[in-house]
Amino acid sequence: MNLEEKISKYGRNMSSSIIREILKYAADEDAISFGGGVPDPETFPRKELAEIAREIVLNEYHYTLQYSTTEGDPLLKRQIIKLLERMYGLTGLDEDNLVFTMGSQQALDLIGKIFLDDESYCVLDDPAYLGAINAFKQYLANFIVVPLQKDGMDLDFLEKKLKELADRGEIKKVKFIYVVSNFHNPAGVTTSLEKRKALVEVAEKYDLFIVEDDPYGALRYEGETIDPIFKIGGPERVVLLNTFSKVLSPGLRIGVVIGDKALIRKVVQAKQSADLCSPAITHRLAARYLERYDLLEQLKPTIELYRRKRKVMLEALEEYFSDIPGVEWVKAEGGLFIWLSLPKGFDTWEMFEYAKRKKIFYVPGRVFKVYDEPSPSMRLSFCLPPDEKIVEGVKRLREVVLAYGTEKSLI
Amino acid sequence: MNLEEKISKYGRNMSSSIIREILKYAADEDAISFGGGVPDPETFPRKELAEIAREIVLNEYHYTLQYSTTEGDPLLKRQIIKLLERMYGLTGLDEDNLVFTMGSQQALDLIGKIFLDDESYCVLDDPAYLGAINAFKQYLANFIVVPLQKDGMDLDFLEKKLKELADRGEIKKVKFIYVVSNFHNPAGVTTSLEKRKALVEVAEKYDLFIVEDDPYGALRYEGETIDPIFKIGGPERVVLLNTFSKVLSPGLRIGVVIGDKALIRKVVQAKQSADLCSPAITHRLAARYLERYDLLEQLKPTIELYRRKRKVMLEALEEYFSDIPGVEWVKAEGGLFIWLSLPKGFDTWEMFEYAKRKKIFYVPGRVFKVYDEPSPSMRLSFCLPPDEKIVEGVKRLREVVLAYGTEKSLI
């Protein structure tokens, strides 16, 4: 049977994760990888989680080993509502404002399915989070791609595009603006309070929805916490995505959608067809952990660890790249990534062949382009390699840049 | 903001699970429910799973608490390959023939997305599994609905429909035939070996794919195991869906797709956009359990339990329904359900109001119709209520049928 002939319109729009392909090379023992966005497993509270896992399977098996509800564990909902109040001063949320998803990726998939089809538009930034691009592309959506600046999306550019669509009578086709508000993946930038407010105004003016994705918000290494767009615009206008992947354990695959009750009901419907329910064992594990331990306190050593590694990488970049004209990097105030941009003409995708030879791995910026295009930038993750490997890696990266740049007469 | 205005074509095709709504009523203490298809939690090996859960979180945290691969745990794949060989004599499978999903529901969702769009057809039976109807409808597919007979789908009917499409030059739009081969949900029937072979012939003749869903195969209470359609037609023609939900624990949410390597790669792609990966903790828990314990041996008391409950229900039906002309039921050889059909004119959906008063709950046949239509049938699950409640429940059901039938002058 010819499989390709049978594939649907959606199936033809799926592609394999390029990051996965890239990371295969990083398995080599001598390799240094700035590629993956995965947390350091030593930061996971394994002893506490192991004991709780035993207890909840033994004593709460009626719940943990059985089918559960599509919405997910009510005990965990209560814990998250408390956490959001502590972190962001969010109030007024109850259980019906929340639904759990299989990591944030499922939230992106379900929101894509609920809102987007071949006649709709959504707004993405450039560069954009790869998982969002992949999720939304499946549903044949059209994109308004807006350049990302140091304080968030270029709102003048966005308004110009929206006005064009409004003038053509097509503004109703635009469904939502997708934003990673804190420590953007891949670009590291944080949307400023002013831009958050202005973004809500644009959304109100054109009656658009905002999807705010905030996986890294708790991992701030400097500066002050900024109000979520969700708090500024309210649940009628903004839906907030959160996850335990970066602050407790990605293996639990717990994402959460926080929003207006009518929207949450729709996400529940979509999740029902997608997987009926998530494993109750993972929800209850997180719920009992949050009941017994103070997550934000527990997170402090993790924040210290990443703050140090980030500093090591920023200092190494200063040492090895400040003498190369046209090289820039974003000093992300939190999260896991530094976005390094090389001078015009560099193509970090093509340069990857050079990096392979030096056994230093990064994620080429091309991966984060909504449409497949060359990029002079790359995403560097500092969270996994030990300090000395970070320095050695940046040194190797300099050699790669110099070798490629010289050969291509770019520097 | 008007949410409804923003909903996509797919979102407009989503509906809430009616079974969930129905089961709300069953929470009453005096109620007897034949509604849910959930296993008895006392059959879950909680002590063994609790100990393993502790061990794998403590000692294998690098794997269990971290992001894992989209395909899922290779150790669990090996165990399933062995299990399929023991159960069905399936050989020649390797890791690349398998991908894990979030229960079988995710497999249905991803297969729907990969194959179906508004220009395609798929073949479903009447009645059909609700989860499949919901998953496939989202993608705007068209359906060929084929009556289910006592030994499986009505193949003459199917061939007639396929011929019509072939004559119109539209046969390429037909993507697959979906079959629950053993102890059908809801209808309880098992597709005979002859029909399995004939089904493969039809699929070959018209170059169609077969999606064989087999969640209940290990729960056989009488008769001989029949070769899966997958074994007869081979992975080029058939994809097999399996799950641990009915034989180990539904809470783990482990489904598995077994098929041709090219198709499995496509499912992996689709799963990547849907949720990146499943929780490694659930996979490893099942893998270590299967390494240490013989699942098929462990399952024997569960099979004994359900065999007895099924007998109790069949005897009660004999006692309370054999005197009502036109009432029929399927003596399912395994699985969790008995399909009870009332005389023509009965509408078990409408009759549900009568059932509520008597506090006896079932799932009306209408739920399993591809298009919303009245049905004189209902699905009865015997796996949860204790023996005496099964008898009492069937007695109440008789009263409901007599009351409704008399009032509507149907008996």
- Report chain A residues whose CB lies below 8 A from the CB of B103: 275-277
Measured between CA atoms, how close is A373 to chain B, in angstroms? 21
Tens digits of pLDDT across chain B (411 residues): 788 889 999 999 887 777 777 767 777 789 999 998 788 899 999 999 999 999 999 999 999 999 999 999 999 999 999 999 999 999 999 999 999 999 999 999 999 999 999 999 999 999 999 999 999 999 999 999 999 999 999 999 999 999 999 999 999 999 999 999 999 999 999 999 999 999 999 999 999 999 999 999 999 999 999 999 999 999 999 999 999 988 899 999 999 999 999 999 999 999 999 999 999 999 999 999 999 999 999 999 999 999 999 999 999 999 999 999 999 999 999 999 999 999 999 999 999 999 999 999 999 999 999 999 999 999 999 988 999 999 999 999 999 999 999 999 998
Q: Which residues of B touch A245 (CB under 8 A)?
A: 67
Q: Quote the pTM value.
A: 0.96
Distance from CA of A277 to the nearest CA of B (A): 8
Structural element, H or E, at residue A379: strand A377-381
pLDDT of residue B1: 74
Q: Could you tell me where the DSSP H helices lie in A120-260?
A: 130-137, 155-167, 193-205, 229-233
Tokens 């309370």: give the residue. Answer: B320
Q: What CA–CA distance (Å, rounded) separates A80 from A248?
A: 13
pLDDT tens across A92-145, in order? 999 999 999 999 999 999 999 999 999 999 999 999 999 999 999 999 999 999
Three-state secondary structure readout of chain B: CCHHHHCCCCHHHCCCCHHHHHHHHCCCCCCEECCCCCCCHHHCCHHHHHHHHHHHHHHCHHHHCCCCCCCCCHHHHHHHHHHHHHHHCCCCCCHHHEEEEEHHHHHHHHHHHHHCCCCCEEEEEECCCHHHHHHHHHCCCEEEEEEEECCEECHHHHHHHHHHHHHCCCHHHEEEEEEECCCCCCCCCCCCHHHHHHHHHHHHHCCCEEEEECCCCCCECCCCCCCCHHHHHCCCCEEEEEECCCCCCHHHCEEEEECCHHHHHHHHHHHHHHHCCCCHHHHHHHHHHHHHCCHHHHCHHHHHHHHHHHHHHHHHHHHHHCCCCCCEECCCCECCEEEEECCCCCCCCCCHHHHHHHCEECEEHHHHCCCCCCCCEEEEECCCCCHHHHHHHHHHHHHHHHHHHHHCCCC
Q: Which of B67, B102, B269 sits opposite A38 (nearest CB)?
A: B67
Tens digit of pLDDT for each residue in A188-214?
999 999 999 999 999 999 999 999 999
Q: Is the CB of residue B121 less than 8 Å from the CB of residue B174?
A: yes
Instruction: Compute CA distances A173 → A80, B361, B373, whole Å.
Output: 33, 44, 34
| Inter-chain residue contact B41 with A6, CB threshold 8 Å | no
Residue of B nearest to A55 (CA): B50
CB–CB contact B67 A245 (8 Å): yes
Contacts with B99 from chain A: Cβ below 8 Å: none
In sequence order, which residues have a C-beta less than 8 Å from that of residue A252 and are 6 or more positions away?
Answer: A244, A245, A282, A285, A286, B65, B279, B281
State the smallest CA–CA distance between residue A36 and chain B in angstroms.
Answer: 10
Three-state secondary structure call for residue A245: coil
The answer to whether the Cβ–Cβ distance between B7 and A115 falls below 8 Å is: yes
Of the candidates B138, B209, B270, which has its C-beta nearest A14's C-beta? B270
Give the strand pairing for A254-258 and A238-243.
antiparallel
Interface A:B, Cβ pairs < 8 A:
262
DSSP structural state of residue A41: G
Nearest to B14 among A41, A55, A273 (CB): A273
Contact B41 A50 (CB under 8 A): no
Its ipTM equals: 0.96
